[in-house]
Amino acid sequence: MQMTPELENSRFMKAARCEPTDCTPVWIMRQAGRYLPEYMEVRSKTTFIELCKTPELAAEVTLSAQAALGVDAAILFADLLPILQPMGFDLEYVKGEGPVIHNPILESKEVERVRSVEDVQVLGYVFDAVKLIRKQLPSTIPLLGFAGAPFTLASYAIEGGGSKNYIRTKTIMYNDPGAWTALMNRLVDSLADYLNAQIEAGCQAVQVFDSWAGCLSPSDYRQYVLPHTQRLIAAVNPAVPVINFLTGNPALVPDQVSAGGQVIGIDWRIDLAAAREIVGQSRAIQGNLDPASLYTELPTLEKRAKEVLDANAGHPGHIFNLGHGVHPDMNPDNVKALVRMVHELSAR
């Protein structure tokens, strides 16, 4: 992957390097999703997994979302879980229920059947989508790739789907640290190859989603998760910014910073100014408007967006985002208005 001068000097890339920008860059997690009519037009013709696995369609919804919203980065339309399929998991997306793994790890000895992805090109449809998107994106708009963090993917593999308490995951983690480490190592090896292949195909940055690590205490995160996330981030092409995103537990932010990443993605449960004190000035912060703010009237939304911007106190290295993804019943006009507000309020 070669970075053009236009991409190097884009708002997003400059902010990721903690360089001053003409205004604060913004992109939105789940910016291509069910709330957008452009997405629903494509989605109505196919299943979710087929959309993910058809490069032309994944490219179409990625590009249409960036163009409709006017955001400063596009994020590849894909899903966290298909990488588990070549690792030996039977994954299905069930209508009304979401992703289901039909052969989860029920006890620690079953970790032996999990295999690392030997050839990441088995996920070639993702890289083909990246190439198509990069060809059609404006020259000043970076493309972000992503993957699930090792803990989040391990939890899916053990729980078989969503969970409220992660009891099965924690039981294996606590009772058999050896099996847990073996599982995490196979995930890290696979995810590192996957992220680097996305970069090679044309992504300018990647985000690691630890959507479920918020269920952990700081000591458990440090013992069972931090070394593996750290190894994953360290294995990514060092020329490319990694956004380390974790949600659900502000007490983990200091350890999240220790895990690495040029950009630390935070949710709304911590004040951005407090997070800046922890993160410091040498790394960028991404976040952190509560997604529920998008349901408010526009003057209230503007006030809340300004509070996030003000919390950064003008420091270079802020990428505006929600603290998590857009909800599917959102009015797309509110999302478009938020992007305009961020640009106008932060213009220098």
Contacts of 176 (CB under 8 A, 6+ apart): 108
Neighbours of 161 (CB within 10 A): 16
User: Residue 273: is it exposed, middle or buried by C-beta count within 10 angstroms (0-12/13-18/19+)?
Assistant: middle
Instruction: Tell me the pairing of strands 143-148 and 205-210.
Output: parallel
CA distance 51 to 259: 33
CA distance 76 to 127: 10
Residues paired with 244 in a beta bridge: 208, 264
Is 35 a catalytic site residue?
A: no
Are the C-beta atoms of residues 32 and 64 closer than 8 Å to each other? Answer: yes
CA distance 170 to 159: 10
Is 348 a catalytic site residue?
A: no
The residue from 11, 30, 134, 231 that is catalytic is 30
The residue from 72, 79, 210, 267 that is catalytic is 79
DSSP single-letter state for residue 250: G
Q: 28 — alpha (psi -120 to 50), left (phi > 0) or beta?
A: beta
Residue with tokens 């083909």: 128
Neighbours of 44 (CB within 10 A): 7
Are the C-beta atoms of residues 140 and 71 closer than 8 Å to each other? Answer: no
The residue from 11, 35, 39, 43 that is catalytic is 43
CA distance between the termini of the chain? 32
**57-61-66 Cα angle (round to 5):** 150
Is 22 a catalytic site residue?
A: no
Contacts of 151 (CB under 8 A, 6+ apart): 184, 210, 212, 213, 216, 224, 225, 228, 229
The residue from 17, 34, 168, 269 that is catalytic is 34
Q: Measuring CA to CA, how many Å separate 296 from each of 170, 292, 316, 337?
A: 38, 8, 28, 12
The residue from 11, 35, 134, 156 that is catalytic is 156
Give catalytic residues, as residue numbers.
30, 34, 43, 79, 156
